[in-house]
Structure 1
Amino acid sequence: MTTATMEPLPAPMPAPAPRPAREVYRDTLAGLLAQDERLTCLDSDTGLFSGVDWGAAAGRYINLGIAEQNMMGAAAGLARSGRIPYVNTMATFAATRAVEAVKLDIALNNLPVRIAATHAGLSAGHLGSTHHSLEDLAVMRLLPNMTVLVPADAAATEELVRASVDLPGPVYLRLGRGGTPDLGPDLPPLRIGEAQRLRDGDDVTLIATGPYPVLLALEAAAELAAHGIEAGVLNMHTVKPLDTEAVHAAARATRHIVTVEEHWAAGGLGSAVAETVAERGPGCRVSRVAVPDAFAAGHGGQTHLLERNGITREAIVDRVRAAR
């Protein structure tokens, strides 16, 4: 009697790595330039567009080198001439080094310049504090006329880039460096200026912005549900104009809001939500999960630095349970 030899089963194919939002932005923009002659791409020698075949739009890609202030001024001039410039640089340079030009050349004149800011938050954590961008939401949301967008995954990035083309006035688009997990299919529609409700709950509301904060809020909501606490989750992809009606509704319904962001605690989403709640009087507590008032500790990968600086699922859960 012979024994049949079993062929080993093939190893399962690994899941594809999530695409970095900045690459999704790049590819979406390249396609839009081919379709819309108003669009121009201004680059600060980021390397993001190396190898892109611009085709007939090649003359509308301009690499100005590492000169961010000049790039903002050039973008303002192009916008004044009827173009719609997309400006590419790292977030920390857009929000600090070039902010005078953004304020006076772009925002003051309410010009349709789109600032695509990569390496935001702690996503360039391996480069240290010089490249951490934990102030940009505070800076940009304070500028009159500015729209501030923070996509939570690759699909949202493409949607928001496309939606940004015909928005009035300037836009700040906050993007990370590496790939982050997708939120999944069958999400509610993404509309600029409207919070995206990802989960219902009438005990507490978690309001998050950005890829990892939104994912952590969803994970925290699942853990809280196991303890009998139902948490609603809002993806606040538009930090300005803030969906104040959604914030007020959450304040009335749950009486406790926890904000989650990859930003310093002062000036960002948490501050915007607290200001909004305060305008309608007392009755709702606002807790913030964010980087404390200190330069971010350590060097390393993004998830490592998020955990080291207190932006975790556990921190969200602790904030909720401490208030009950």
Structure 2
Amino acid sequence: MSAVDVTLNFDQILSSAREVYGAELRKMADEGLDFAFVCADNVAKSSTTGKFMEAYPERCVNVGIAEANQVGVAAGLALSGKVVFAQVFGPFLPLRAADQIHTDIAYNDLPVRLIGTHAGVTSGGGPTHNVIADLAFYRAVPNLTIVSPADANQCARVVRESMDYPGPMIIRIARGAEPDVYADNNYEFKIGKAITINEGKDLTLIGTGSSVHWCLMAAKELEKSGIHARVIDMHTIKPFDKEAVLNAARETGCVVTVEDHSVNGGLGGQVAEIIAESGIPAKFKRLGLPDEFAILGDVPEVYKYYGLYPVGIANSVRELLKK
């Protein structure tokens, strides 16, 4: 039974978070909300973000191909009193701009929203462009709020809610069109509060970002075996909803995390720490990218190779439950 209306039977409905959040920025600007926007040379004029920039050039800054400088410019604008959104090519955000994120943005606790695109292996550019260690870095930086929306419309909600949210924020999104998770926007959303989107008593699947959809499809696959999985959308990695994890461990006795990130230091690491420190006896498994540079291939094939697809996730769950 679904706890909210999800697109469980419409898994081919695709939306681009980059397009939807660009449209949301335009709406917010049209409504008179005051913010600035910084980007590199990665915004197409034909995109919704490009059209927003064309309509409001006075509040937009293009720094060219210089991501570290881009984050520094965003910090300067925030120090002048602006809420700042900055779209940064995801592979370079946590690597090239790590010092600026840490010292310019986080240390000064500035209202900058860094939108990192091409999360996980969605860049299609191979191991050097896979964004699989960013959450581990971000989690360790004080003051950072980290949000990984489950779908494009949720990304728009994060962008809007972030206008009144204190401090700096990372918004982690995929490269392009991703399956919609929610049938509509009529569900309660709050940064820092997980959403139970499918009820179940046999185990809990916890996903973040694009992996939430994988979890839903895996739950559907598990139903064929009479296994009923709770599915949690952990859209916020920091601050983390510990109670959702503790309740899941107590009530279902088995927790599996699924993420488009290394199994080290991301969602799985966070959940493991919480369960271990709680002393709750529960089976646990992390599913994600292993501790290696991922294979080169088409994105769907990479996911399949590592078992990050509905049938693969369901098989891992069945093996865990047998132990």
TM-score normalized with structure 1 length: 0.90
Which whole-Å deviations, capped at 9, do the CAs of 1:137-192 have from their partners, x for residues lacking one?
Answer: 11112211111111111211111111111110001001111111212425632211
TM-score normalized with structure 2 length: 0.90
Matching residue of 2:21: 25
Distance 1:48 1:272 in 2: 36
Percent identical among aligned pairs is 41
Matching residue of 1:157: 155
Choose the corresponding residue for 1:317, options 310, 314, 319: 314
Matching residue of 2:5: none
Q: Which has the larger radius of gyration?
A: 1
Shift, 1:248, TM fit = 0.5
Matching residue of 1:207: 206
Distance 1:272 1:30 in 2: 35
Matching residue of 1:171: 169
Shift, 1:282, TM fit = 4.3
Report the 3-state secondary structure (helix = DSSP H, G, I; strand = E; otherwise coil) of the residue aligned with 2:81: coil
Whether 1:44 and 2:40 are equivalent positions in the alignment is yes
Choose the corresponding residue for 1:296, options 283, 291, 294: 294
Matching residue of 2:266: 268
Distance 1:295 1:256 in 2: 29
Shift, 1:235, TM fit = 0.7
Whether 1:143 and 2:141 are equivalent positions in the alignment is yes
1:134 to 1:41, Cα distance in 2 relative to 1, 3 A? same
Shift, 1:290, TM fit = 0.3
Matching residue of 1:7: none
Shift, 1:94, TM fit = 0.8
Report the 3-state secondary structure (helix = DSSP H, G, I; strand = E; otherwise coil) of the residue aligned with 1:180: strand
Unpaired runs of at least 5, structure 2: 1-10
Contact 2:307 2:313 (8 Å CA) reproduced: no
Unpaired runs of at least 5, structure 1: 1-14
Q: Which moved more, 1:139-148 or 1:41-50?
A: 41-50
Contact 1:68 1:94 (8 Å CA) reproduced: yes
Distance 2:304 2:318 in 1: 19
Which whole-Å deviations, capped at 9, do the CAs of 1:14-50 have from their partners, x for residues lacking one?
Answer: x996231111111211222343453000011112455
Choose the corresponding residue for 2:250, options 246, 249, 252: 252
Which whole-Å deviations, capped at 9, do the CAs of 1:89-118 have from their partners, x for residues lacking one?
Answer: 111111111011000011011111000111
Which whole-Å deviations, capped at 9, do the CAs of 1:251-298 have from their partners, x for residues lacking one?
Answer: 111111000000011011000111111121141222011011111111
Report the 3-state secondary structure (helix = DSSP H, G, I; strand = E; otherwise coil) of the residue aligned with 1:19: strand
Choose the corresponding residue for 2:240, options 221, 239, 242: 242
Report the 3-state secondary structure (helix = DSSP H, G, I; strand = E; otherwise coil) of the residue aligned with 1:130: helix
Report the 3-state secondary structure (helix = DSSP H, G, I; strand = E; otherwise coil) of the residue aligned with 2:51: coil
Report the 3-state secondary structure (helix = DSSP H, G, I; strand = E; otherwise coil) of the residue aligned with 2:167: coil
Structure 2 residue identity aligned to 1:310: G
Distance 2:259 2:248 in 1: 18
Report the 3-state secondary structure (helix = DSSP H, G, I; strand = E; otherwise coil) of the residue aligned with 1:286: strand
Shift, 1:238, TM fit = 0.8
1:103 to 1:281, Cα distance in 2 relative to 1, 3 A? same
1:56 to 1:297, Cα distance in 2 relative to 1, 3 A? closer
Q: Which moved more, 1:179-188 or 1:134-143?
A: 179-188
Q: Which moved more, 1:195-204 or 1:26-35?
A: 26-35
Alignment of 1:70-149 (within 5 A): 70-125=69-124, 127-149=125-147
Report the 3-state secondary structure (helix = DSSP H, G, I; strand = E; otherwise coil) of the residue aligned with 1:41: strand
1:229 to 1:174, Cα distance in 2 relative to 1, 3 A? same
1:175 to 1:79, Cα distance in 2 relative to 1, 3 A? same
Which whole-Å deviations, capped at 9, do the CAs of 1:191-226 have from their partners, x for residues lacking one?
Answer: 111111111111100000112x11221111122222
Count, aligned residues: 307
Alignment of 1:60-79 (within 5 A): 60-79=59-78
Contact 1:208 1:217 (8 Å CA) reproduced: yes
Distance 2:26 2:137 in 1: 28
Matching residue of 1:9: none
Structure 1 residue identity aligned to 2:58: G
1:77 to 1:288, Cα distance in 2 relative to 1, 3 A? same
Where relative contact order (Cα < 8 A, 6+ residues apart) is larger, the structure is 2
Whether 1:284 and 2:282 are equivalent positions in the alignment is yes
